[in-house]
């Protein structure tokens, strides 16, 4: 196990800035997941921690010790890549043993370590096979096994499941959660996949343009996003964002006049709000229900996707043309061109100022 501190990390490739002022403390045994759009610097950050890339500025401490002068092996980190990177001419046993053989460990110790890791991963029956004789999921397990036998202080995982089909991804996601529970080793995991991020992380880091937008538990980041970027990045389908201006302020709500003319309430701390300020109101698709209430909007359904028990209805806000998505129960199918009134509780609404910064939600804080 290891704690890691990233201090003022910057990384530039020529004129391209990949990391900007990254400050982060990662505790012993944490499962930290880094998410963000393509090109935001996720892999670069992992490679800097691993020692495969040197930062332009800043420092990396592992267990309080400066790591920049250490090789990847000296850092005690093991990296698992999306591409498995197994040796095709070696069988599973020798692939897993490779790192320990290079480190000239005794054969008896190597055999014990490979046996233990194979049992943990349920691949004891595959030890004599070559990589080409394995499925994608089995190859990924061998790649993880090769990392485990080295007993690293820190696992760095770069989109390890993205080459697998949907079913296998879910299975391996559960395997990662179990492995982390059993090994208790610090893991830093990069993914594009929201569900992986939300379900595996003890803490989530949202990266954008090389900088950290927000760090917190998945529930904190989902329920109390700091800004519009985080709010719209996490959640699928993504949060509805409707332009408007502040029409009234009460003790427990801020009322917003939307472009459609509807006046709706968000239960947020008024703080810096003034009547007439331009704002963006956010409502997640699963917070919308068909109803007749005052806190709602009129929408014309356009595309309806049937998802078994649920339906995702994509429509346009009446008189404003802004897109709105609602996740509704499938029992009463909605059709193209249906006129719907979609309502929400003031406590389920989010509000962002003209700079995209979130107002504090009264419900999220409770």
Residue numbers at the binding site for ligand ATP (CB under 6 A): 13, 16, 18, 36, 38-44, 192
Question: In terms of CB distance, is 4 or 224 closer to ligand ATP?
Answer: 4
| Shortest spacing between CB 211 and ligand ATP, in angstroms | 12
| Shortest spacing between CB 40 and ligand ATP, in angstroms | 4
Question: In terms of CB distance, is 34 or 267 closer to ligand ATP?
Answer: 34
* Number of residues assigned to the chain: 366
Quote the CA–CA distance of 223 and 217 in Å, as a whole number.
10
Task: Give the torsion sign (CA, 58, 202, 232, 351).
Answer: negative
| Shortest spacing between CB 192 and ligand ATP, in angstroms | 6
**Cβ-contact 114, 150 below 8 angstroms:** no
| Shortest spacing between CB 231 and ligand ATP, in angstroms | 20
Which residues does residue 59 pair with via DSSP β-bridges, in sequence order?
Answer: 7
| Shortest spacing between CB 214 and ligand ATP, in angstroms | 16
Question: In terms of CB distance, is 42 or 146 closer to ligand ATP?
Answer: 42
Indicate left, alpha or beta for 14 from its phi (over 0: left) and psi (-120 to 50: alpha): left
| Shortest spacing between CB 159 and ligand ATP, in angstroms | 7
Question: In terms of CB distance, is 72 or 347 closer to ligand ATP?
Answer: 72
Helices of type H across 184-271: 194-200, 218-223, 228-233
Q: How many CB atoms lie within 10 A of CB 322?
A: 18
- Contacts of residue 189, defined as CB under 8 A and 6 or more positions apart, other chains included, come to 31, 32, 33, 34, 155, 157, 160, 176, 196, 200, 201
Question: In terms of CB distance, is 52 or 270 closer to ligand ATP?
Answer: 52
Question: In terms of CB distance, is 82 or 311 closer to ligand ATP?
Answer: 82
């Amino acid at each position: 196990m290891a704690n890691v501190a990233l201090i003022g990390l910057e990384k530039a490739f020529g004129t391209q800035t990949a990391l900007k002022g990254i400050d982060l403390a990662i505790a012993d045994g944490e499962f930290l997941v880094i998410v963000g759009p393509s090109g935001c610097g996720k892999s670069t950050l992992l490679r800097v921690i691993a020692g495969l890339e040197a930062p332009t500025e800043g420092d990396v401490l592992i267990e309080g010790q400066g790591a920049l002068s250490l090789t990847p092996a000296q850092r005690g980190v093991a990296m698992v890549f999306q591409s498995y990177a197994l040796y095709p001419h070696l069988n599973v046993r020798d692939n897993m043993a490779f790192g320990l053989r290079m480190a000239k460990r005794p054969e008896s110790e190597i055999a014990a370590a490979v046996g233990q890791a194979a049992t943990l991963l349920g691949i004891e029956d595959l030890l004599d096979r070559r990589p080409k004789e394995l499925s994608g999921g089995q190859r990924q397990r061998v790649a993880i096994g090769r990392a485990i036998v080295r007993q690293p202080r820190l696992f760095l995982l770069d989109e390890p499941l993205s080459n697998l089909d949907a079913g296998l991804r879910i299975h391996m996601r559960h395997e990662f959660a179990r492995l982390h529970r059993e090994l208790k080793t610090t893991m830093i995991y990069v993914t594009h996949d929201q569900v992986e991020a939300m379900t595996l992380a003890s803490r989530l880091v949202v990266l954008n343009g090389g900088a950290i937008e927000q760090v917190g538990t998945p529930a904190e980041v989902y329920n109390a996003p700091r800004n519009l970027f985080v709010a719209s990045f996490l959640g699928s389908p993504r949060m509805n964002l409707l332009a408007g201006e502040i029409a009234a302020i009460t003790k427990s709500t801020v009322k917003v006049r939307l472009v459609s003319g509807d006046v709706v309430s968000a239960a947020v701390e008024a703080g810096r709000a003034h009547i007439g300020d331009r704002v963006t109101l956010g409502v997640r698709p699963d917070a919308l229900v068909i109803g007749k209430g005052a806190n709602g909007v009129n929408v014309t359904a356009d595309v309806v996707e049937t998802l078994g028990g649920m339906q995702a209805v994509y429509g346009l806000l009446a008189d404003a043309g802004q897109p709105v998505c609602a996740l509704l129960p499938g029992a009463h199918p909605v059709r193209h061109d249906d006129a719907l009134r979609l309502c929400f509780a003031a406590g389920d609404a989010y509000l962002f100022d003209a700079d995209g910064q979130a107002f504090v939600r009264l419900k999220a804080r409770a």
